[in-house]
A and B are shown apart, each in its own frame.
Chain A
Amino acid sequence: DGGITQSPKYLFRKEGQNVTLSCEQNLNHDAMYWYRQDPGQGLRLIYYSQIVNDFQKGDIAEGYSVSREKKESFPLTVTSAQKNPTAFYLCASSVETGAANEKLFFGSGTQLSVL
């Protein structure tokens, strides 16, 4: 998990509530990503950011929002518009996008559940 810290490890959301998941990295990586993982399934991309103050939607961005005000931080907000938020959320980073040897470094994840 080295270098990427996600918090909290467990999070509970009440109906109609927005919640924010934290992701911080000290790897000096330009690119950061948020993935959602449902039980028994692979990872689906929510948002990614290649540089500070810029980010792009992934495959399942509806009901989520992000910000990238600092290189080290890429918080994810799960809004009340996300009707099925229960999942395991993974943050990742990479040195840069487009390189032939590009690989991802992951945090330890946040399990979000709905009360």
Chain B
Amino acid sequence: SQQGEEDPQALSIQEGENATMNCSYKTSINNLQWYRQNSGRGLVHLILIRSNEREKHSGRLRVTLDTSKKSSSLLITASRAADTASYFCAAYGQNFVFGPGTRLSVLP
């Protein structure tokens, strides 16, 4: 019962550029979260936005949530090579449901 779907599946940008990833989900949620995963490692929580919030910032991260469209976006500004990783959205309703992720490559 996968709810989250990210796009694009892969994204390649130059250092300093902004990276935008999108996520869609299917049912009602308590919150929408974004996680980062380096290759062969566990996921690390980045940012959470509640269902009654529209936008949230944390450092170079900006997340938006549109509950009417059941979609969210994650913007990473001024990207760095160290941002290279896979990024997953997780829709939290009765449980956490993850999308397939976006593989971000930031080229130096």
Question: Which of A43, A98, A101, A109 is within 8 Å of B88, CB to CB?
Answer: A43
With both beta carbons as reference points, the residue of chain A lying nearest to B97 in the complex is identified as: A45
Interface residues of A (CB under 8 A from B): 1, 4, 6, 33, 35, 40-45, 48, 58-59, 88, 90, 92, 97-98, 100-109, 111
Number of interface residues of B (CB under 8 A): 26
Q: Are B100 and A111 in contact (CB under 8 A)?
A: no
Interface residues of B (CB under 8 A from A): 1-2, 4, 9, 30-31, 33, 35, 40-45, 48, 50, 88, 90, 92, 95-101
Q: Are A43 and B31 in contact (CB under 8 A)?
A: no
**A48-B95, A104-B96 known; A42-B88 Cβ under 8 A:** yes
Q: Are B30 and A108 in contact (CB under 8 A)?
A: no
Q: Are B42 and A109 in contact (CB under 8 A)?
A: yes
Question: Which of A101, A102, A106 is within 8 Å of B43, CB to CB?
Answer: A106
Q: Are B41 and A108 in contact (CB under 8 A)?
A: yes
The residues of A that contact B50 with a CB separation of less than 8 Å are 100-101
Q: Are B88 and A103 in contact (CB under 8 A)?
A: no
With both beta carbons as reference points, the residue of chain B lying nearest to A108 in the complex is identified as: B42
